[in-house]
Chain A
């Protein structure tokens, strides 16, 4: 009896809290699809008009379509670079546990705490010298390396549980060598961890502003979606509705990833707690 009444109260509070996360999104959608006059009349009120002009306008004016393609290319390159190197490295750390290996492991994971803005300065200078700024492939590789420390940690945690000693013993008794064990046992079994890494790296790279605003800011042709949307917001002639439309467009891909890969994302963040 008592549990029932309790549950309504608690559920009510949880629902109230969730408004803090839903209302900003609804406001964004509402602003993007209403006319300017309507918004000026009551910015806090409900939309009384409907138009797709803002979204279409942002798409064509700000070149959001091209920015979306750039963002996807950068994010996919980052995912490939990060997932493949982290997978191989984490596997090596699973089968080598000497003092040197452990030291290296700590070093490669602790580099997570090296501030991005610190290593970006020389990377920016060197890429400028090599004329490799505003290059989406280079930006993608660097974005992948930026997530590498976390990815190594995550996959290594997974291998420590899933790739058991018994499994390794059995493989060794069968006469398998390192690369064979990696390719035929570790890689196939690592799918859940890889899914987490790919989902996280995609989301992080897609949403990044600091790297894009440093490595790709010289040429509007290679602006990522995040960079294009934020740059758009500083241009005077673009109104609020255009900004909202740009923001909405740049959230749709990650919201899709969120819906498809929610479980993997949650597992990845859970591993980040250091349990």
Chain B
């Protein structure tokens, strides 16, 4: 009976393809076809406005032999070291905000502020703040902590950790928001039961809270993983210009430089395909790791 009814509304409301067509057409024109075109042109010595010659995989061969490319890949891998920080910091704070805090909503709003602000504009502010003769170092000097003053953005050893902390600053509030929603969906009595058993904050956090929202934790980690490959351009362009040298450049910044500044379209196309590969590969590794951990945990239990 139910099935007949269901099929009834499905048939009655069939069609209406006209509603979907604009979305398909726009995404095809702006996203899919250009991606295919980039893949195709990565096999050419691509010279827009003039003759492009087919060169097979030479762009890729150049790429693999290019130390700058590997340096940028190395930067991306270094940034991934920030992943535990980007996940655990908002997770702990969202957990702590659950109770015993005055006006948790206000704090969530404040932490969420960076989500609406342009990375490029905020990068401008931090570039000034962290300049060698800037306010942060000046404040450190005047408060007798001068030994902590560093050339934050112009020194190869400091620039990447600084970027990791700025990514934390930018994504923290969104993470707190998402984890708060996840905690709100967990039945509260399991926390109460744990507290009756005498669980303290950290043991409650690790043994009850984290396992109960592990799906969200994993998704947030994957989201951050993709973001560090996809959405860093504004930050890097303004904050460091990729420098010093290329020591803070991300893939998207590197590719932009190749085609907009140097006019190397073929190389930029090959690099774009490498970037697409990274975006497929790393989340796939993440899913693989999760499957592995889950089977291990199950095996230990049985």
Contacts and interface: CB of A to CB of B under 8 A. Distances in A.
B129 A265 contact: no
A114 B116 contact: no
A108 interface: yes
A24 interface: yes
A206 interface: yes
A230 B120 contact: yes
A91 interface: yes
Nearest to A24: B125
B63 interface: no
Contact of A230 (B13, B102, B133, B238): B238
B80 interface: no
A243 B97 CA distance: 36
A233 B112 CA distance: 26
A110 to B, nearest CB: 10
A65 interface: no
A139 to B, nearest CB: 12
B301 interface: no
A111 to B, nearest CB: 5
Interface of B: 5-6, 8-10, 12-20, 22-24, 26-27, 29-35, 37-38, 41, 48-49, 93, 96-97, 99-102, 104, 107-122, 124-129, 133-139, 142, 169, 173-174, 177-178, 181-182, 185, 216, 219-220, 223, 226, 229-230, 233-234, 237-238, 251-252, 255-256, 259-260, 265, 268-269, 272-273, 275-276, 279
B120 A207 contact: yes
Contacts of B181: 270, 273, 275
Interface string A2-36: 01001100110111011011101101100100000
Nearest to B114: A21
A265 B256 CA distance: 29
A192 B182 CA distance: 20
Contact of A14 (B15, B97, B229): B97
A262 B100 CA distance: 24
A250 B117 CA distance: 9
Given A113-B279, A148-B26, A209-B238, 16 more contacts: A14-B101, A21-B114, A24-B122, A89-B19, A117-B233, A117-B255, A117-B272, A118-B35, A129-B48, A145-B29, A182-B16, A207-B119, A207-B121, A209-B118, A210-B256, A254-B118
Given A172-B8, A214-B256, A247 B124 contact: yes
Given A44-B135, A240-B128, A269-B174, A18 B19 contact: no
Given A88-B22, A116-B252, A165-B6, A210 B234 contact: yes
Contacts of A81: 26
A145 B18 CA distance: 18
Nearest to A257: B116
A172 B13 contact: yes
Contacts of B96: 10, 13-14
Contact of A125 (B114, B122, B265): B265
Contacts of A27: 125, 129, 135
Contacts of A3: 99-100
Contacts of B238: 209, 230, 233
A68 B137 CA distance: 33
Interface in A65-111: 81, 84-86, 88-89, 91-93, 95-96, 104, 108, 111
A189 interface: no
A243 B5 CA distance: 64
A137 interface: no
B279 A44 contact: no
Nearest to B175: A273
A149 B26 CA distance: 11
Contacts of B29: 145
B20 A169 contact: no
A138 B223 CA distance: 29
A85 B230 contact: no
Q: Which has the most chain B C-beta neighbours within 10 Å: A91, A118, A203, A272?
A: A118
Contacts of B109: 262
Contacts of B14: 96, 178
Contacts of B178: 269-270, 272-273
B302 to A, nearest CB: 30
B133 A43 contact: yes
Given A182-B19, A230-B120, A169 B8 contact: yes
A184 B110 CA distance: 38
Q: Which has the most chain B C-beta neighbours within 10 Å: A44, A148, A243, A265?
A: A44
B48 A244 contact: no
A129 B49 CA distance: 8
Contacts of A148: 23, 26-27
